[in-house]
Structures are given as C-alpha cells and as structure tokens.
Structure 1
Amino acid sequence: MATPSAPPDVLDNIVQSYEPLVARYGERNVVIQRHTSYERLITSLKSTFPSLEPIANERIFVTTTLPDRGEEKIEITPDLWAELVPSLREIQVETREPHPSEDSFTVVLCVNLRDGTHKKTRFRCKPETRVGDIMETIAANENVGIDDLRPTYGGARISMDVTLAECGIEDGDHIDVFPTMKGRKPVIYLLPPRPLENVDVRLSLAPAWEFTVVYPFVKIKGGGDGQSVSWTVSAKPDGTLTERSTNTEVSYLYWEAQAKPERLVTPPNSRPSTPLSSRPEAFDPSRPQEWLTPESSVVVKTNEIPAYLDAVLKALTLHTEARTSFITFWLPYLQKYAYIALRFLPQAAYEESAPLSIEPKPDVVTRIFMIFQGISGNDEKWTEARTHSDLNLEQRWRDAVGVDSARALNTSLFRVLEWGGMEIIA
C-alpha cells in the first residue's frame, strides 16, 4: 500500500483518522496514535511504556502479523513503517539484547541479600558502564530499592556514579553487592523527674549517613554537610512525650538512617577495641565492620541471645519496656544465624557520628547502639571473641560503653536513654 506524497504532519492527520492502533508490550495493551514517522512512534512508545525509556532506540523493534503468514510475527523495519502504518491494527513492541562489542567484558556479581541468601550472576558491560546502571538491574531483578544496595570492589565501597573503568574493574572481576548499612530503630526516651513543658531535642548526623524516617514527623534539614532534625516536646516523668507542633503523644522519639554511598574508598584499617583520644573517633556507619573485631566483641549462640541481651541491657540501665522492645525488634534479624558476633559501641564514638543536643540539658544521657554480624560456628577468626562471653558481661559492657549506672537509674535526675543497632552483612 503506497503512502500519499504529503508533508509528515498532513500524513499523520490522515492516518490518525483511521481506527485506533493497539500497541502491546509485556502484559499491557494500549491504544496509541498513529505516526508515519518511525522516530515519533518510538518516542510515543517510550512515553506510553516508561520501562522502555532507558533502552536505546536501536534495541526497540516492532512486529506485527500478516494475513497470509498466520500467527508468525514479522518485524517492521523503520524504512517500511510509513507505508505499512495505515493498514495496521495491532503491533507488538519488543526489545533485543545489545550485541557484545569488542570492548565489552563480563563482570561477576556476587549479590548478598538481607534475608541471608547469596546469588552469583554475570553481567556483560563496557568500561564506560556506570556502576549505578548495573545496580538498577539488580534492584529490579530482586525487587529491592537501589538505595538498599551497597556495591564493593576489592573490599572498598564504590559509588553508583562512577564507571567500571574509573574503578579499575576489568574482564572477569568480581563486584560484591551487600545491603546498605542502616541504623535501625534508634529511639530516644526522655525521663524528667517532674513535668517539663518545652524540651528542645536536636539530633544531627555526620555526613556519612542520612535519615530515612523520623517520628513524630518533623522536617529533615541540611544536606551534604550532615542532616539534622529537631523536636519540641513536653515530657512527663513516666516518659510520655507530646510533640508540640503536631500534638502527637508518643513514648519515645524515633529515627532511622542509612549509610551514604561514597565515590571510592580504600580497604579499612583495623580499629582499637576501645578507641581513646582527646577527641573520640567517630563511628562510621558506612564502615561498621571496622568496629566489630574479635578483640572488641563477643560471640553468642543464637539460642542464648535473648537471655544474654536481657542481662546486658539491664546492666546498661535499660528499663523493662526498653529491653523488651530492643530484643523483640532485633530477634528476627538475629535468628537467621547460628552464632552472633556483637558489640555495643562506646558512647563517645557514637555521639561523634550522631550528636544529640537537648535543652534543658539532661543530668545524664545513656546511648546504647549495638552492631552485630552473623557468623559460622567454625570461623577461627572469632576464636578470641568466643572467650569474652564468659567474662563479667555486666561490668565489661558498662565500661566499654561508658555508662554511669548509678546516675542513669536515679529517678531524681533528668535522664535520657537511647537504644538502636545495625546489622553488618559482609
């Protein structure tokens, strides 16, 4: 069927007067406008099917069926599109994989998921391929958010924005992918000896991490130099808080944060078991494994974890509700493993990473943050840590964290208590 000789816009008006054209892609069937221009067709398809947007035009092709060919799908080439479009009733949109070029190569992706499963896959790419493009594919395949993925190469975290060439990644190299490190459910209790009407609470984060959620809801301020949130609450001796701007009544202030991606970092150096200096070294949430060493941690069998944590948390002055909430929140994460290596961070290091400012100033602040990692029962690396669980655990962790238990339990003082934690998957 010959197409009349006329300007493209005129031809478009003519063919658009025909019956609708159905485009099929995946599980969707959509009526689209007819265009005599193949380029306009591709633009329209990308607008109609957003998942086509990142795919190069040359990888998108259109097929149809012809009366004399039965159900066989016939590809329509761009040069014949204008001639065939007036007679078409339905088209099928498909994509083809890019052809490996001479400069493309294969990287091996070792994906470690938060549920404990491990997968290995191969990815064909080019030196100029962005790490983020690969992570988008993994995120789509595993039904997770791209922000939940932490790519590493040679033991160092790599940014989503760099290319494989910039990282020095070559054919056959391995990229290890882990879940993003998250500080989960830190909660802040305020326990004044008498009612306080206006307590200003400001929580800041070092640039290494960023808030993912806070409650009661308040505005998250800041950016590259670090974020912060502020609450103004009234506080009762029983711990009940009322956030003034929303009149929300809560038992504690809640926040979570995740480690921010870096461009390219070198492998970690070892950390002392109890860092001490005139200015404490900040806990780095993007490198928590630096703080979990055999010298600084203990290893506990999973079936012994609840009793162990209850005893330790009690020694660290957590009241009954706080201990119960801590254990029940973390137990599903802990039970995935046979053994757990864990550590409670020094308050000074944690404070450097997440400064907490409260006015009027409390008499005592106790901040408890646990980091842990699931390990196998025969991992010789943790031999020393296994012996620590037999020591005086109450005194060990009080000293390591820096808890003044006498003042923290004194109900005549204005006390602040916080607990939270982070799982290390490496």
Structure 2
Amino acid sequence: MYDRIREKLNILADAAKYDVSCASSGSTRKNDNNGIGNSSSGICHSYTEDGRCVSLLKILLTNHCIYDCAFCVSRKSNDIKRAAFTVDEVVELTMSFYRRNYIEGLFLSSGIFKNADFTMERLLRIVKKLRLEERFNGYIHLKTIPGASPELLIEAGLYADRMSINLEMPTEAGLKLLAPDKSHEEVKKPLGFIQQNITQFKDEKKTGLIKHVPKFVPAGQSTQMVIGATPETDMEIMYSANEYYKNYSLKRVYYSGYIPISYDSRMPAIGTQPPLLRENRLYQTDWLMRFYGFEVQELLNPANPHLDTDIDPKLSWALRNLDQFPVDINNADYRMILRIPGIGVRSAQKIIQARKFGKLRSDQLQKIGVAYNRAKHFIKCADSPYLLREPDAPHLKNLIVAESSSKYLKTPQNQLLLF
C-alpha cells in the first residue's frame, strides 16, 4: 500500500470511529451475478443476532467539513490533519481488504466539502462503481448527507443496503446550541423521503405488476444521537427516539456517549469520562420498547424523567408497579411474562410452549434459562411457597441487589444487556 494511501487511511479511519451507527441487519442481497462477496446479516465489528462477530471497512471519504459543530472532531475550526480519498481509492481499498478477508462490507461516511450534493455525488459514485464495475455484493452502509438532492438519494438507495443520517442531538434546542447551522428538519426530510420510497418499492413488489423490482435500502434506515453533550433528560432522549421509530420506521437509533475532543465553552469539560453507563441504560430502554412491548411513557415520564443508574429499567419499572405482581407463570399472557424481571424474550417463549404440557415449577424455570434469583420475587409457579410480600420497593431492591451474583447489578460500569 502506498505510503500516502496508508496515511489517508489512518486519518480517515480514526475520524470515522466516533460514528457508532454501523451495525446492520435485514439485508438479503445475494451473489447471483458471479460477482465478489455476499452481504451478511450484520457488519462492522459488531455482534449479529445469532452471535457472529462481523467486520467492515469503516472510513470517511474526507474529514474536511464546511460546518463547525462543537461536538465533532472534523469541525472546520479543529486543528487536525485533513485528508480526502478519491473515488477510485475507496473502491480499491474496499476490494483489496475484502480479498484479504479483512472485511465483509463497507461503512462509508464523510465530512461535507463544498456542498451537500458535491459530497453525496462522490459517495454515490463509490457505491455505484463497487456494485456495477467490481460486482461487489457485500454489505454497504452509506451515510446520507443532509441537504442532498432527492435524485441522488434515490439512486444511492438502489446500491446501498442501509442508509443513515445522524440526528446529532436529541432535541432541536441542543442542536442549535452546538451546531447552529443544522436543524432536525434537514434530517427529517431525507428520512421521510427514503422511507416513502422504501414503502413504494415494497408495494410495487407485492402487486406483481412489475416483473423485476430492484432492492431499495433493504436493511432500512438508522440514526444516531450524541448523549451527554447537552442537558436533555433521559425522558427527552427516549421520547425523541420513539418519535423517529414511529414516524420513519427506523431499524435502529444509536446512542453515542459524548467523547470530549476539543475545548468549547458550550460543551462538558475536557477530561470528563464518556457517559457509558447512561448510554447503556438508554440502549436497555430502547430494547424494552422494541422487543418487550413497553411504551416509552411507562419507562420514563415527568414523574420519572431519569433512568436509574444502579438497576436496569425493567427492574426499575417493576419496583414502581408492584401492584401488578406476583404474576402466575402458568396463567399469565406472553406480554405480562415479558415484563417479569429476570425473564427475557427467549425464556418467555419457552415458558409459553412448555406450560402446554403441565404446570411449571421453579426448577423447570431455571432449566429454561430464567434468572430465577431475580424473577422469584415477582412470580408464582406450581411449587411456589406462600409469597411474603416485601414491605416496600426500596427493601425489595436492596434484597435483589444483595442476592445477585451478576456484575450487571454490582458493578454498573461494566454492564451488559440483561433482562
């Protein structure tokens, strides 16, 4: 690799690391043209739903930018090394890395140089050349440039598996504070436009009137928020995420704990640690909303605008709603079983299937995979003793934490998603 290309790669791969919205799922692009590569269900040094770890080449086209967003390492006033790839250099790097089995796909973003269309047009040329000239069938996640023309977005959607555009800050007020040249409307327009076209292409395929309907952003859209750079509450953050899930059918919202990169009086002080625990609690809340049937208002509301740091949001909700417990594990519906602390989606599904053959006992629940030491305070099963109700939620919380052998509860700095 030429020294100059290697230097560019070091600069632009390092600048890309701050963008966390690079996982993927749902793409079905197949290698049916004798080309190179196959798209898989998850990319970018992330874990897929079936536990596989996958990787991608994650770079910026350039870190030159016309904007001066206070939270961004590529802001135009930041004194850093600048670089830019050519279209051919990105294509050659992607194919070279793939042939060496280093990557399974490409995550491509960019600073904005000259204007939105100028930048988006070059991103489009890259993905188009990969698909048509190199016949590359691996996964491609392309970041949308705010303000780019609809024509460019539509064409890009025919070649990318996933497209995303960063919301940046959870609220308009926070965005105006740190990036006064941007607005959430610039994000909503392309999100809405792409979603409209995704729906249109799917409808055309369903009708069967058009013989060959091309794939259009088959892995959907995502967005990202920076957390901790502005003073929004957890409630404001998750209400914003909920709005975008419902209005634009997003696959994921990513929450990126703010990492101090340069001094600015509007930002948290340099040297502060990224809010990793808060970031994890937000992901747990997001998970409960998407897979456990919780409404955002149940988890966060004016009476409880912040997530607990010492316990997960599902346990926190249960302790605030003890009147709904204990739940009879042998009679309750699936929705209510999902709400029991210590029971996840797979365990709940197994419970529904297993109880068809008889009443379930505590030992059977443990074999199914239920975290019984936590769940036992909230359930009744076939061999449950008389349940002595704990006097109050604080007492029960302390009891659960004391009984737990999980690092999840005892050392919250090293959390895992566990329900």
TM over 0.5: no
Instruction: Normalising by structure 1, report the TM-score.
Output: 0.24
Compare the two structures and name the one with the higher helix fraction: 2
TM-score normalised by L of structure 2: 0.24
Highest relative contact order (Cα 8 Å, sep 6+), 1 or 2? 1
